[in-house]
């Protein structure tokens, strides 16, 4: 049992990070903290994706021209996850700009207070 857990350590860590991020998104009413939670979830997905590409005794895929017997790590997940990182940055910037506008409108970052203010009007 313990051996099986140890052999999937990276995947389990990625899942734990995902759940931590989801907890942050659900439990905190501060919008900035929600964005941080979403970023933690994104990071967990990147960790999971890159872990899939790992190979035993593998080296980073910079081809060694002198030694042909080296095993290289799977390059495809590392190349594809770049798209994910770019999208994550864009989403973060966009949600921060929306939060700035919300703060201007309501004068608070707390979601509960915002809902109260809307219901009072």
Of the pair 1, 119, the CB lying nearest another protein is at 1
Q: Do you know the residue count of the chain? A: 121
Nearby residues of 105 by Cβ (< 8 Å), 6 or more positions away: none
Q: Is 30 helix (H, G, I), strand (E, B) or coil?
A: strand
Residues that bind another protein (CB under 8 A): 4-5, 7-12, 15-16, 18-19, 22-23, 26-27, 51-56, 58, 60-63, 65, 72, 74-79, 82-83, 85-87, 89-90, 93-94, 96-98, 100-101, 103-105
- Shortest Å distance, C-beta 112 to another protein: 12
Smallest CA-to-CA distance from 35 within 85, 81, 98, 112 is with 98
DSSP, res 29? -
- Shortest Å distance, C-beta 20 to another protein: 9
């Amino acid at each position: 049992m313990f051996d099986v857990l140890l052999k999937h350590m990276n995947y389990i860590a990625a899942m734990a990070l995902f759940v931590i991020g989801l907890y942050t998104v659900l439990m905190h009413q501060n919008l900035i903290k929600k964005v941080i939670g979403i970023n933690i979830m994104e990071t967990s997905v990147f960790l999971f994706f890159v872990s899939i590409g790992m190979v035993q005794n593998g080296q980073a895929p910079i081809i060694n021209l002198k030694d042909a017997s080296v095993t290289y790590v799977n390059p495809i997940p590392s190349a594809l996850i770049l798209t994910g990182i770019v999208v994550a940055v864009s989403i973060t910037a966009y949600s921060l700009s929306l939060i700035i506008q919300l703060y201007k409108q309501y004068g608070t970052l707390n979601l509960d207070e915002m809902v109260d203010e809307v219901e009072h009007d």
